[in-house]
Chains A and B, each alone.
Chain A
Amino acid sequence: MKPRVAFFDFAGCEGDQLQVANLEEKVIDLVEIVNLVNFREIMTEKSDDYDVAFIEGSIATDHDAERLREIRSNADIVVALGSCAAIGGINSIRNSQDPERVEDRVYGDDADKVEAWDKAKPADAIVDVDHYVYGCPIDKDEFIHVVESLVQGKKPNIPTYPVCVECKMNENVCVFARNGEEKRLPSTKREVQTPGPSAVDQGPFCLGPVTRAGCDSKCINEGTTCWGCRGLIDNPNQNAHKKVLDKYGLTVEEVINKFNLYFGWQQEERNNE
């Protein structure tokens, strides 16, 4: 029996479901090993009878949460697909902003009509999540690996080391060394526990030392920097890439707090521990 697979989207850009469509011919191979029963973005047929549910997007309303709980009760396996569902993602930028100002900036006089939470949350803030496909967007090969593992009843193998490891293998020039080592040293230290606004022109900066690998250091290969989209590695104090940090005189907390883009929810969780 092929497992019955369903996709559900919450608040997000649907870029992860698009990566599934971007598998091109491999999509046809995929529907040979799984039975797609619910994928609103591409199909009209739907069913509440499924074994595996992929969740995309973060959760930010009571209605979202209720729907997610229902999905959890229908599915044997729940997989968070992409940064928004897995770690809160870019939506969690606003979590550290003053909720009243957030609503006022976007809705002005109509702010009262909005029924959304003050924070955007990942799926596992609401229900148990069995597996995670990280990334913004997800990596197509990793997605296939996860699906194949689940079909075979195995646990997917997701890296627990930082992006630096992959970046070194790709022989990139370290972002911190790009404009000369002395130039990149951080000029201001932030309050460690509160992610502040973004870093402005303090030289090239990279979240690779604290971010979970698995992307093949894509963004650095393309000439930019690691923005942290795959989330913090487990236990950053132990697993961060020490060599890079030591070489450039950085601390784990300093790197984590540098840009407040993807780590908002994870940081809050760490602070509550």
Chain B
Amino acid sequence: MSNEKINIDVEYLTRVEGHGNIKVNASNGQIEKCEWQVIETPRYFESMVVDHSWKELHHITSRICGICSIGHTLASLKATEDAIGIEISDQDELLRKLVLHGENMQSHILHVGYLALPDLMGEGSVIPLASSHPEELKTVIKIHRLANELSDLVGGRTTHPQRLIPGGFSKIPTEKELTELRSKLKNSFNDLMAVADLCEEKADKLPDFSRETEFISLTTDEEYAFYDGQIRSTDTGISPVDDYLDVTNEYVVNQSTAKFARNNRGSYMVGALARLNNNYDQLSPMAKGVAERFNLKPINHNPFMNNIAQLVEVVHNVRDSIKIIDTLLENGLEPQDDYYEPEIEVQSGRGIGAVEVPRGILFHDYTYNEEGVCTAGNCVIPTNQNHANIQHDMEELAPSLIEKDKPEEEIELNLEMLVRAYDPCISCSTHHLDVEFVE
């Protein structure tokens, strides 16, 4: 066997959000160490929210993550509204669903186009693609920009949105703006298909690896769930959002610095693939058509297919955004004053908000006193829920590659691609981690 000694030591894995290491040691085909480590500085959000007003919490917790700041804002607002007893209008709910589509598109296309594709094209980053594949790259940028235009228009800013407030929106788009956005979304189909073609051409570079696991996401009878629903597991079925602690079960393990989560088995997966596995039938026909091109159907246990599930979701996001805009325009937009602020009577209580964000199911949980001041907070982040699944995948993928006598560089690349496929958001997940630096 040529692989007498394997020593993989990836410090600060690139092309992921946040700081993580991959360590694998093996000799004579036997794994001695195989770890996914997280080494991010803790940020203490659950403490930072304490003593702050219900009007400020979404502003603070949006800063957990720049990439999914809209999702954090919405989970935060839903928790606050649940605790204080605030209702929002149907129009506001539609606008929230719309802005969430914008973020999901933005994040997924950034991941698929800028972070994952370079691996499939044999490049170290997206930058060489500017000269080697200029047209393809421009197409990816166009979709990315469109997603940001959507978020900007509805949320008032793509990162750390401003218009989303407890009880609704401080400002809403005009019918004219929505009509213009609708036509841009409609005109993006060719671009979406061009990206799908490119991915299809390179899909054989995605490792063929499957490990049976549990998938958890939101679900609802009404639609492919992003904004609302109940918790659904491929193992244990449906449970209410209020029971999220019984599903997520965060725990500390000695071999890792990160908190892990488990429900029915050693680990579970959240994110685009989990949503697709749970709610496939509710995808728009066009999105299903893209899934079929990659033979992606439920239940798919190949974590690398999360990249493709993201692509499928982008198509769904565009289709459903058009549908939402149509409904808004058919109903006619209910106008509201500039600098709108709903009248709210504050009451004490605990509230939980769950939202599907690009990387999976997200929970915010706040308790307020009778003055509307937060006394306790908890946030369970998608990437935290995926850490254990990444670890378990690595423990199975690494030996299988060693057994096939693959060169060390190829094993390392495959392990890096595995972590990237989860599109981890490590700074999110360390709002809460136990950090110790591993020698």
In the A-B complex, the 10 residue pairs with the closest CB atoms: A15-B66, A223-B170, A43-B125, A197-B51, A222-B156, A44-B124, A222-B162, A13-B66, A223-B171, A11-B41
Q: Which B residues, 46 to 72, have Cβ-Cβ distances below 8 Å to chain A?
A: 46-48, 50-53, 55-56, 59-60, 63-67, 69
Segment of A72-80, A122-130, A198-206, A249-257 engaged in the interface with chain B: A198-206
Which residues on B sit within 8 Å (CB–CB) of A14? 17-18, 65-67, 427
Q: Do A261 and B56 form a contact, CB below 8 Å, given A136-B160, A197-B373, A222-B171?
A: yes
A112 to nearest B CB, angstroms? 10
A137 B436 Cβ-Cβ under 8 A:
no
B414 to nearest A CB, angstroms? 14
| B interface secondary structure, majority | loop
Which of A22, A31, A41, A106 has a CB less than 8 Å from the CB of B42?
Answer: A106
Segment of B21-29, B140-148, B218-226 engaged in the interface with chain A: B140-148
CB-nearest residue of chain A to B339: A223
CB-nearest residue of chain A to B144: A24
Q: Mark A201-224, 1 if CB is under 8 A from B, else 0.
A: 100100000000000001100111
Which residues on A sit within 8 Å (CB–CB) of B439? none
The CA-CA distance from A120 to B12 in the complex, in Å, is 22
The CA-CA distance from A25 to B148 in the complex, in Å, is 13
Interface residues, chain A, with chain B CB atoms under 8 Å away? 9-19, 21-22, 24-25, 27-28, 31, 36, 39-46, 57, 60-61, 63-64, 89-91, 93-94, 97, 101-103, 105-107, 110, 113-116, 120, 136-137, 173, 175, 178-179, 197-201, 204, 218-219, 222-224, 227, 259, 261
The CA-CA distance from A77 to B36 in the complex, in Å, is 34
Q: Do A222 and B41 form a contact, CB below 8 Å, given A22-B148, A97-B50?
A: no
| A interface secondary structure, majority | loop
B157 A46 Cβ-Cβ under 8 A:
no
Q: Do A223 and B437 form a contact, CB below 8 Å, given A136-B63, A201-B346?
A: no
Which residues on B sit within 8 Å (CB–CB) of A261? 56, 59-60
Which residues on B sit within 8 Å (CB–CB) of A39? 125
Residue B130 at the chain A interface, CB threshold 8 Å: yes
B51 A36 Cβ-Cβ under 8 A:
no
A105 B67 Cβ-Cβ under 8 A:
no
Q: How many A-B residue pairs have CB under 8 A?
A: 207
**Known A25-B141, A41-B17, A223-B163; further 17 A-B contacts with Cβ < 8 A:** A41-B15, A42-B114, A44-B118, A60-B42, A90-B60, A93-B52, A97-B51, A105-B376, A106-B432, A110-B252, A197-B373, A198-B52, A198-B373, A199-B53, A200-B53, A222-B156, A222-B170
Which of A17, A36, A94, A115 has a CB less than 8 Å from the CB of B127?
Answer: A36
Which of A41, A63, A201 has a CB less than 8 Å from the CB of B372?
Answer: A201
A113 B17 Cβ-Cβ under 8 A:
no
The CA-CA distance from A10 to B114 in the complex, in Å, is 22
Q: Mark B156-197, 1 if CB is under 8 A from A, else 0.
A: 111110110100011100000000000000000000000000
Q: Mark B5-33, 1 if CB is under 8 A from A, else 0.
A: 00000001011111100000000000000
Residue B138 at the chain A interface, CB threshold 8 Å: yes
A13 B63 Cβ-Cβ under 8 A:
yes
The CA-CA distance from A175 to B159 in the complex, in Å, is 23
